[in-house]
Structure 1
Amino acid sequence: MSAFGPGMLLVASPELVDPNFVDTVVLLLDAGTEGALGVVLNRPSPVPVEEILPDWADLATTPEVLFQGGPVGTDGALAVGLLAPDAVPPPGFSALTEGSRLGLVDLDAPVEALAAALVELRIYAGYAGWGAGQLDAELEAMSWYVVPAEFADPFVDPFAAEAADAAGLARAVLRRQPGDLAWHSTRPLDPGLN
């Protein structure tokens, strides 16, 4: 699959050697002709949410730590949340795509306004960003696999327990893909050891 847009996942391929992205899964938050923006889903930090954003700590999905969203803007934070199935999107929540339960959460909004509607929340320090044409070039170089994200229980990609394990989420996402792509979930980190 080569089309990409908000709500899609980028899974790092073996050809991607940038240490910022080895074994990562990136959730695309925005993509267009001017570039793309996303967050790395599987890089937990040791920093508890409680230390940085105490008001949001009770809503954070386990593990309740900040995740390293990417190498850009690491002094800022982005939050991704999942609405309850019957929740009306509250102020401070922006769906990634029309009608999606997954979206960005405004960390400047009152926690109380969002607490009843959210069933999952993860906070990312920094983000992954690509300039115009940059992600297209990386896809052409086979650096990423572009796959649909899964947002149905019991496995919701941005909040899966595997996200706390750098290689675990990438393998889980690839394993569920059709055809040859599923085989990539079993590749060793060093193919020379195979």
Structure 2
Amino acid sequence: MTEVSSLTGRLLVATPALADPNFDRAVVLLLDHDEEGSLGVVLNRPTPVDVGDILEGWADLAGEPGVVFQGGPVSLDSALGVAVIPGGANGDLAPLGWRRVHGAIGLVDLEAPPELLAAALGSLRIFAGYAGWGPGQLEDELVEGAWYVVESEPGDVYSPAPERLWREVLRRQRNELAMVATYPDDPSLN
């Protein structure tokens, strides 16, 4: 079996050609990527559900907007917490209840008492469900041109305007991808 180069911590940005409505203009943060498959969360799908409605203790720590995000089409009845720890990229000792994914970005143990992490958290997002791919499935989608792979920035996790994230991530690229940010929502209207 060929070795898979890990894309953990990178962003998958849906190309305009991606036909799956679950991922239309989606920006996915890959939390895990190896030969066994891939797992990520969609960063730009806020729901109308307040964090306090499902995880009361975590509501005060959630960034704006303080709603649950739909992390993807898999396991919508489960929750994942993704948080940025300021200085967490410097190899500092990770606080209890937080596991580094990439740089300052990590997963929060939502079973832990929120007070345990309150002082360390820079921002927190709660996701219902996740995006998952079996072995080789994501690689096939990349070959088919369904996704752009770009570097993530800690601010992507807690963007205060998630509805603009797809365009903002593309716009900051230093190549032809910056032009894709101007792609119309409905090209048939052009």
Task: Quote the offset at 1:179 in angstroms.
Answer: 1.4
Task: Quote the offset at 1:4 in angstroms.
Answer: 5.2
**Residue identity in the other structure for 1:174:** L
Task: Give the match for residue 177 of structure 2.
Answer: 181
Task: Quote the offset at 1:13 in angstroms.
Answer: 0.4
| CA distance, structure 1, for counterparts of residue 14 and residue 21 of structure 2 | 11
**Residue 116 (str. 1) matches residue 113 (str. 2):** no
Render the CA deviation track for 1:2-59: whole Å, top value 9, x for unaligned.
x651110000001111110001100000000111000000000000011100000000
**Residue 19 (str. 1) matches residue 21 (str. 2):** yes
List aligned pairs for 1:137-176, cutoff 5 A: 137-151=140-154, 156-163=155-162, 165=163, 168-176=164-172
| CA distance, structure 2, for counterparts of residue 191 and residue 140 of structure 1 | 24
Task: Quote the offset at 1:192 in angstroms.
Answer: 2.7
**Residue identity in the other structure for 2:133:** W
| CA distance, structure 2, for counterparts of residue 120 and residue 17 of structure 1 | 32
The answer to whether the 8 A contact 1:89-1:117 is kept is no
The answer for unaligned runs of 5 or more in structure 1 is none
Task: Quote the offset at 1:110 in angstroms.
Answer: 1.3
The answer to whether the 8 A contact 2:6-2:34 is kept is no
| CA distance, structure 2, for counterparts of residue 186 and residue 65 of structure 1 | 28
Render the CA deviation track for 1:94-125: whole Å, top value 9, x for unaligned.
0013xx21100000011111000001000000
| CA distance, structure 1, for counterparts of residue 165 and residue 133 of structure 2 | 22
**Residue 125 (str. 1) matches residue 128 (str. 2):** yes
**Residue identity in the other structure for 2:179:** W
**Residue identity in the other structure for 2:41:** V
Task: Quote the offset at 1:81 in angstroms.
Answer: 0.4
The answer to whether the 8 A contact 1:4-1:146 is kept is no
Task: Quote the offset at 1:191 in angstroms.
Answer: 2.0
Task: Give the match for residue 71 of structure 1.
Answer: 73
Q: Give the aligned CA root-mean-square deviation in angstroms.
A: 1.3
- TM superposition outliers: structure 1 runs of 4+ over 3 Å: none
List aligned pairs for 1:82-121, cutoff 5 A: 82-85=84-87, 88-97=93-102, 100-121=103-124
Task: Quote the offset at 1:88 in angstroms.
Answer: 4.2
**Residue identity in the other structure for 1:6:** T
SS at match of 1:171: helix
Q: How many residues align?
A: 183
Task: Quote the offset at 1:190 in angstroms.
Answer: 2.0
The answer to whether the 8 A contact 1:7-1:149 is kept is yes
